[in-house]
Amino acid sequence: MLRVFTLVFAGLFAATALAGTDEEPSAPERWNEDGLIIFDAEDINLNDFLWIARPVVIFADSVNDPRFQEQLRFVQEVPEAVTERDILIVTDTNPNELSDLRKRLRPRGFMLAILGKDGGVKLRKPFPWDMREIGRVIDKMPLRQQELREQRQK
């Protein structure tokens, strides 16, 4: 139920942000071809997702950074891993515009940060990680363990 709520909430958030524009959103700012929602750090307040989603933040100094492109590929290869773990993908590729996330996490070049539903930083990596590795980190979190136990009881 919570997963459905997260997807509906994220979809409504994205739809509201896109309302009033005739332009098709461009990846990685909003949607990709798999239907994953990818938010830009400037357009999102992570406090709105506390206890709802696990943000995975991808920083780079440019959209053209090969590590950034590789990380997006990893995320897009397994969209079900993203949705089943309530992951919120957030990108920040503009070091000149200091988003709240960039100020808080202070990346240098490429950085992958995994945050918990509580908003705390659980992991930082200076290189791309595939979804299997990200999933393992998330699956070890106490709240995720509790979610898995509750799913098994249903």
Q: What is the pLDDT of residue 31?
A: 43
| Backbone φ/ψ region at 109: left (φ over 0), alpha (ψ -120 to 50), beta | left
Q: For domain 2-10+25-153, give the CATH superfamily.
A: Glutaredoxin (3.40.30.10)
Cβ burial of 87 (10 Å; 0-12, 13-18, 19+) is: buried
- Banded model confidence at residue 149, pLDDT cuts 50, 70, 90: very high
pLDDT in tens, 85-104: 999 999 999 999 999 999 99
- Show me where the domains of the chain are located: 2-10+25-153
pLDDT in tens, 4-13: 434 434 443 4
pTM over 0.85: no
Q: Are 3 and 84 in contact (CB under 8 A)?
A: yes
